[in-house]
């Protein structure tokens, strides 16, 4: 029998630590932090039976948004609490452990989140070398009121007196705060105390050591078949491709890059050069601009745009698959899937879809079902993929490029069907266009408030919270017309508008690279909006943000002088009327406008 994709993790030792996922992002952050300590950790669903966790030195129950009293809230196998593995509960994990062992959890009326001072009490290995007050980060609604029989309280905060507990004789312990987030100042030490001091783990994890075994596994999985990739020019698919290239040689690894016409200036040439430099000989660019633009003609709705682009990718990929004979038995598909993409976790499976991310094609689905797929990075986190990439001599400048969305400039080129003036809405002006945002866990599609000048972020935050019909606030840096004269125009995804956006984006990219500002931001979308006056129908919005993983984002202010220069140059682009600065954090805005 031929090997399947899951076999790519063969040769990895059993994880010493498993994080049980009780909902969402938290579990991955914990596993990443444990791996940063040099210890192999994985993530499993919370309901994983104890028998499948045999041999783990430690188990961590993650935080999550549920209440232990709610029907359907994440549970764990009770046997886990009586094996020899040490168990650490975090946040929801502490409440679940308490609830299951007969303690009492109090239902909170409202959430409490943010910084707190944690006062350590009784000494315990979990807090070894940590004494007195610690700054911790809380994010909870319920809290433990009474620790279970046999447990000591190890410390508390002003509002949460039972913020850490441990059993007197068994290796069970828990904390209400989040040691995995950077805001908990000694969090790193607390996790290290658990992993090394309590569980007795030894260092066994360095992603760079995995390259040799990965190459062997790629050879075993491919056997006598060749591998083909749809590469995007992103980090993950490029690193996965390069690993296969090293394992199988350039004649056996084929790469196809689809040029949708929705890319940034110079992107296709850049990707071509990069792959040449990596030693790829079987690399091809599939020109598909005309068909993408045709499919998008006249479309203005963001979700419809994404849908059409996804569908069009399917058409192009299916065509390549069949005409290139990639579906016959000599080929398998390579993909740059990384660890967080592989896990159907409780939290993320339940999470509302804010925006559709396109990925799976029917032909690809078939290949997956028949096991003809290879995903060499499926056990790694993004930072680990970069480390592996560096070791493979992929240029650092490429590995640290800002993320760029699959649908490309299409979702940064806002469209409108209506011609309407801006309207006064104290203290600014409502722009007659809508952008996507996220309020609570669901999607919003609301108007934008434009202010004259650039007030503090807090002003913008206060306005978005107060005014229910907006989800974004921008400041006008400069325009060729007065703000009251601006109006929307009918704008769609035409070559002309895409070219305008490409030029604006290239200016911003060049100036922020030259000034070093690009290193101070995580991403810097440049958005074209159909707001202008006279013969200049569009304006440019600058959206430099800081983020860790794209889940939340903070606005970054750029130096005055740079902003002036950028604005001056942007206003010289044909058809551009004004330059705005997005002042909205995520939430309530999303990073992209669509
Ligand atoms: P939002 O706009 O949801 O973006 O705050 C979060 C991060 O995801 C990127 N993004 C995408 N990436 N396909 C992608 O590959 C997509 O359809 C897509 N939509 C948003 C966005 O650039 C940001 O980094």
Q: Is 550 left (phi over 0), alpha (psi -120 to 50) or beta?
A: left
Q: Are residues 141 and 231 in the same domain?
A: no
Residue 239 lies in a domain: yes
* Per-residue model confidence (pLDDT) at position 111: 67
Residue 7 lies in a domain: no
| Helix/strand/coil for 269 | helix
Averaged pLDDT for residues 251-272: 96
Counting residues of the chain whose pLDDT is more than 70, the rounded percentage is 93
- In the predicted model, is pLDDT for residue 554 greater than 50? yes
| Helix/strand/coil for 323 | helix
Look up 178 and say whether it is catalytic. yes
Look up 478 and say whether it is catalytic. no
Indicate which atom in ligand 1 lies nearest the CA of residue 593: 2
Taking the CA atoms of the chain, what radius of gyration do you get in angstroms? 26
Find the CATH number of the domain harbouring 347.
3.40.50.620
* Residue 360 CB–ligand 1 contact under 6 Å: no
* Per-residue model confidence (pLDDT) at position 366: 78
Q: Are residues 135 and 85 in the same domain?
A: yes
- In the predicted model, is pLDDT for residue 477 greater than 50? yes
Residue that is written with structure tokens 């304006």 in the block: 539
* Residue 406 CB–ligand 1 contact under 6 Å: yes
Residue 567 lies in a domain: yes
Asked if 14 and 381 count as a contact pair (C-beta separation under 8 A), the reply is no
Q: Are residues 189 and 269 in the same domain?
A: no
- In the predicted model, is pLDDT for residue 537 greater than 80? yes
In the chain, the number of structural domains is 3
What pLDDT band is residue 75 in, cutting at 50, 70 and 90? very high
Residue 587 lies in a domain: no
* Per-residue model confidence (pLDDT) at position 139: 85
Pocket test for ligand 1, best of 237, 310, 348, 405 (most atoms within 8 A of CB): 405
For 127, residues 6+ apart whose C-beta sits below 8 A from its C-beta are 120, 154, 155, 164, 190, 193
Q: Are residues 566 and 442 in the same domain?
A: yes
| Helix/strand/coil for 16 | coil
Look up 199 and say whether it is catalytic. no
Q: Are residues 367 and 468 in the same domain?
A: no
**Residue range 157-216, pLDDT digits in tens:** 988 999 999 999 999 999 999 999 888 999 999 999 999 999 999 999 999 999 999 999
- 504 CA → ligand 1 middle, Å: 20
Whole-prediction pTM: 0.86
- 132 CA → ligand 1 middle, Å: 42
The domain containing residue 86 runs over which residues? 17-198
Asked if 306 and 300 count as a contact pair (C-beta separation under 8 A), the reply is no
* Residue 421 CB–ligand 1 contact under 6 Å: no
* Per-residue model confidence (pLDDT) at position 340: 82
Last residue of a domain, one of 407, 422, 438: 407
Nearest alpha-carbon partner for 238 in 134, 132, 336: 336
What pLDDT band is residue 353 in, cutting at 50, 70 and 90? very low
* Per-residue model confidence (pLDDT) at position 114: 81
Residue 234 lies in a domain: yes
> Closest Cα to atom 21, ligand 1: which residue?
405
- 405 CA → ligand 1 middle, Å: 5
Last residue of a domain, one of 366, 381, 407: 407
- 166 CA → ligand 1 middle, Å: 41
Q: Are residues 144 and 225 in the same domain?
A: no
The pair of structure tokens assigned to 351 is 């999470």
- 551 CA → ligand 1 middle, Å: 9
* Per-residue model confidence (pLDDT) at position 348: 40
Q: Are residues 525 and 511 in the same domain?
A: yes
Residue 206 lies in a domain: no
Which residue in the list 28, 99, 178, 446 is annotated as catalytic? Answer: 178
Q: Are residues 215 and 194 in the same domain?
A: no
| Dist. CA 386–CA 337, nearest whole Å | 14
Q: Are residues 578 and 565 in the same domain?
A: yes
Higher local confidence (pLDDT), 178 or 550: 178
Which residue in the list 27, 99, 124, 180 is annotated as catalytic? Answer: 180
Which residue in the list 91, 160, 201, 577 is annotated as catalytic? Answer: 91
Find the CATH number of the domain harbouring 514.
3.30.300.10
Q: Are residues 385 and 453 in the same domain?
A: no
Q: Are residues 258 and 285 in the same domain?
A: yes
Residue 589 lies in a domain: no
| Dist. CA 406–CA 256, nearest whole Å | 15
Find the CATH number of the domain harbouring 83.
3.40.50.880
Residue 9 lies in a domain: no
Last residue of a domain, one of 407, 427, 452: 407
Count CB-CB contacts under 10 A for residue 554: 12
Residue that is written with structure tokens 């046999």 in the block: 150
Q: Are residues 256 and 394 in the same domain?
A: yes
């Amino acid at each position: 029998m031929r090997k399947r994709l899951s076999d790519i993790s063969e040769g990895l030792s059993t994880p010493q630590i498993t994080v049980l996922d009780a909902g969402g992002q938290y579990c991955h952050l914990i596993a990443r932090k444990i791996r940063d300590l040099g210890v192999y950790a994985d993530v499993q669903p919370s309901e994983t039976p104890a028998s499948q966790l045999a041999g783990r030195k430690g188990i961590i129950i993650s935080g999550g948004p549920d209440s232990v009293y709610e029907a359907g809230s994440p549970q764990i196998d009770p046997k886990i609490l009586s094996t020899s593995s040490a168990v650490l509960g975090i946040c929801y994990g502490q409440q679940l452990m308490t609830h299951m062992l007969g303690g009492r959890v109090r239902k909170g009326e409202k959430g409490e989140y943010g910084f707190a001072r944690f006062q350590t009490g009784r000494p315990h290995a979990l807090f070894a070398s940590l004494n007195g007050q610690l700054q911790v980060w809380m994010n909870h609604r319920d809290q433990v009121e009474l620790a279970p029989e046999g447990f000591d309280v190890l410390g508390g905060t002003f509002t949460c007196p039972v913020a850490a507990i441990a059993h007197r004789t068994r290796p069970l312990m828990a904390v209400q705060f989040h040691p995995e987030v950077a805001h908990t100042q000694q969090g790193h030490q607390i996790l290290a105390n658990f992993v090394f001091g309590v569980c007795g783990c030894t260092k066994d994890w360095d992603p760079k050591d995995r390259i040799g075994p990965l190459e062997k596994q790629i050879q075993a999985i491919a056997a006598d078949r060749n591998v083909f990739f749809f590469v995007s020019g992103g980090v993950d698919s490029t690193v996965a491709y390069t690993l296969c290239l090293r394992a199988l040689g350039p004649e056996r690894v084929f790469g196809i890059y689809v040029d949708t016409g929705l890319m940034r200036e110079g992107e296709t040439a850049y990707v071509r050069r990069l792959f040449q430099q990596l030693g790829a000989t079987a690399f091809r660019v599939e020109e598909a601009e005309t068909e993408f633009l045709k499919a998008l003609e006249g479309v203005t709705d963001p979700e419809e745009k994404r849908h059409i682009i996804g569908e069009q990718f399917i058409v192009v990929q299916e065509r390549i698959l069949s005409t290139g004979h990639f579906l016959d038995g000599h080929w398998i598909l390579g993909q740059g899937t990384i660890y967080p993409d592989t896990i159907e976790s409780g939290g993320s499976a339940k999470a509302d879809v804010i925006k559709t991310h396109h990925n799976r094609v029917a032909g690809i689905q078939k290949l997956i079902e028949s096991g003809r797929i290879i995903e060499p990075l499926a056990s790694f986190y993004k930072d680990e993929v970069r480390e592996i990439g560096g070791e493979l001599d992929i240029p650092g400048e490429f590995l640290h490029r800002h993320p760029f969305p699959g649908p490309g400039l299409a979702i940064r080129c806002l469209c409108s069907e209506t011609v309407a003036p801006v309207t006064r809405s104290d203290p600014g002006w409502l722009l007659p266009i809508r952008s996507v945002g996220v309020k609570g866990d669901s999607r919003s599609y609301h108007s934008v408030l434009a202010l004259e000048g650039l007030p503090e972020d807090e002003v913008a935050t206060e306005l978005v919270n107060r005014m229910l019909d907006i989800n974004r606030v921008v400041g006008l840096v400069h325009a060729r017309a007065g703000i009251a004269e601006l109006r929307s125009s009918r704008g769609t995804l035409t070559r002309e508008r895409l070219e305008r956006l490409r030029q604006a984006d290239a200016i911003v990219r060049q100036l922020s690279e030259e000034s070093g500002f690009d290193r101070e931001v995580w991403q810097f979308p440049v958005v074209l909006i159909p707001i202008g006056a006279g013969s200049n129908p569009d304006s440019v919005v600058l959206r430099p943000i800081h983020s860790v993983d794209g889940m939340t984002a903070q606005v970054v202010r750029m130096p005055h002088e740079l902003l002036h220069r950028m604005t001056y140059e942007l206003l010289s682009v044909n058809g551009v009327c004004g330059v705005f600065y997005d002042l909205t954090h995520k939430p309530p805005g999303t990073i992209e406008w669509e």
